[in-house]
Amino acid sequence: MNPPGNSPTRRTLLASVAALGLTAASAQERSEPVMNSNGAPIAGPRNPEREQENPDILRPPSTDHGSMPNLRFSFADAHMKMREGGWSREVTQRELPISTTMAGVNMRLTSGGVRELHWHKQAEWSFMLAGRARITAVDNDGHNFVADVGPGDLWYFPAGIPHSIQGLPDDGCEFLLAFPDGEFSEDSTFAITDLFTHNDRSTLAKNLGIGINALDRIPKEELFIFQAEPPPQNLSADAVRNRLREVPSDMVFRLMQQPATQSPGGNVRIADTRNFPISTDVAAALVEVNPGHMRELHWHPNADEWQYYISGKARMTVFAAEARARTFDYRAGDVGYVPMSMSHFVENAGSEPLRFLELFKAPRFMDVSLAQWMALTPPELVHAHLKIDRAVLDQLRKDKQPVV
């Protein structure tokens, strides 16, 4: 045993490897960083559970090369803010430095749990993961909005528009929020209770045209998330009469009711300003990939891609030019990121269907397909580059197939 404070010597490390009985062949079977004659088994401290979650980091494909920024962060590693009524956790540029264009918040509200009345400098886009919620908003022209949302539904609140979210019976809800600003944080939200706490009561009373005593019980600090009674079951019972009626642009989009683009290996549903006009700052795609298939090799010419993995297991290789490429592994609850124009594919690495979101700080979803590009380019020119037979090139699909 080494004396306290001393580092292991080369001899003790080799002895540890020998004690484990690790040869190059057995090391590959045990998910060691060994591939053929390259690498060596780990003899020092390790985290086997983490290594199993990221096998392509431990033993990268031979095509990976060069330095790349980290393109993965898990909500499981994010700080949890727990309140009576629910919880919230966020992945921003602080947690994932490459993510300059988008930040995400995962939130859970109990039945009756309220994300208090608030607004942001940034627009808010959301995808309902589970349960049901009631949302409210009032726009700058005085139109109001109240709606119920369930799994697969989206909502969008433009920047600066005040709104709220409340979980409905029986078990509340959970959802993903996305904001088109990597530096966004829930801590920078403008909250109605915080506003009341930091304005003089006489000023507030004069502004609202009420007696000052009516403000005696206002909270002393921001509520953020709090428990309240569930709203009326009948949505119409929560309606507020308004001579201007509801907002002219619907703030809710029923994504799962939209026809999907079907491909041999899965499907894609897209939501952008073409079918969800109010969502001017965020375009999105919900991708479903069957086992044994992949989101085709492609890139996005108009924006970085921020990903959220809903279910299944995935592996993604990103090519960054200059002989740089890196492969990452993802599971449910993970966030991925791909800078604009970097080519990538997302492969279903498990035995269950893979579902994930692609989000973009852009009004429209755009992608370029490698296969379609090659199929629509003169075959002699493609052959001159890649030496692929003309007969093979003639078989390439000219129509885009997002999942193959």
Tell me if 132 sits within 8 A of 148, measured CB to CB: yes
Annotated catalytic residue within 116, 124, 288, 358: 358
Tell me if 344 sits within 8 A of 317, measured CB to CB: yes
Question: CB within 8 A of 269, min separation 6: which ones?
Answer: 255, 256, 258, 260, 261, 285, 286
Whole-angstrom distance, CA of residue 56 vs CA of residue 31: 10
- Coil vs helix vs strand at 255: helix
Q: Name which of 362, 364, 310 is nearest 336 in CA terms.
A: 310
- Coil vs helix vs strand at 313: strand
Hey, which bits of 49-96 come out as E strands?
72-74, 81-83, 86-91
Question: CB within 8 A of 81, min separation 6: which ones?
Answer: 87, 88, 89, 186, 224, 225
Whole-angstrom distance, CA of residue 365 vs CA of residue 76: 28
Read off the tokens for 307: 């990903």
Whole-angstrom distance, CA of residue 103 vs CA of residue 93: 7
Whole-angstrom distance, CA of residue 79 vs CA of residue 88: 8
**Cβ neighbours, 10 Å, residue 23:** 13
Tell me if 164 sits within 8 A of 125, measured CB to CB: no
- Coil vs helix vs strand at 68: coil
Q: Name which of 185, 174, 182, 179 is nearest 158 in CA terms.
A: 179
Strand (E) or helix (H) holding 382: helix 379-386
Hey, which bits of 140-293 come out as E strands?
144-149, 153-157, 163-167, 173-179, 190-191, 225-227, 252-254, 261-263, 266-271, 283-289
Any catalytic annotation for residue 358? Answer: yes
Whole-angstrom distance, CA of residue 109 vs CA of residue 225: 8
| Main-chain phi, psi angles of 81, to 5 degrees | -100, 105
Residues assigned a catalytic role = 358
